């Protein structure tokens, strides 16, 4: 069921993107430091969105890696603490006499 919903969502996004491209076929001149480039408006918008997705994915990757490192560190600390607790449990109780 989930695959069908995802397929429908991606199909809808594709249709909306195709309609956007069809309505925005006019060319736009992009001026940058070394020259200029004339491309269709829909291509410019798609490239801008793709750039944003890539930047967002890189930021998400770094934050995920940081959380994985922290998780690994805490798991190691937990393991050491559990070993210490288990070793203390098996020690015999000594009287103060």
Contact yes or no for 25/40 (Cβ under 8 A): yes
| Angle, alpha carbons 42-46-9 (nearest 5°) | 105
pLDDT of residue 22: 85
E strand or H helix that includes residue 38: strand 35-40
pLDDT of residue 97: 64
Is 0.75 surpassed by the pTM of this model?
no
SS3 of residue 61 by DSSP: helix
Rounded Cα gap, residues 50 and 48, in angstroms: 5
pLDDT of residue 87: 87
Per-10-residue mean pLDDT, the chain, length 97: 91 88 87 90 89 96 97 97 89 73
């Amino acid at each position: 069921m989930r695959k069908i919903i995802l397929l429908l969502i991606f199909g809808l996004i594709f249709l909306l993107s195709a309609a956007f491209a069809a309505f925005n076929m006019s060319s736009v001149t992009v001026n940058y430091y070394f020259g200029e480039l004339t491309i269709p408006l829909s291509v410019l918008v798609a490239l801008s969105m793709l750039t944003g997705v890539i930047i967002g994915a890189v930021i998400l990757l770094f934050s995920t890696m940081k959380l994985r490192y922290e998780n690994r560190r805490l798991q190691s600390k937990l393991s050491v603490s559990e070993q210490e607790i288990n070793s203390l449990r098996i020690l015999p109780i000594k009287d103060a006499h």
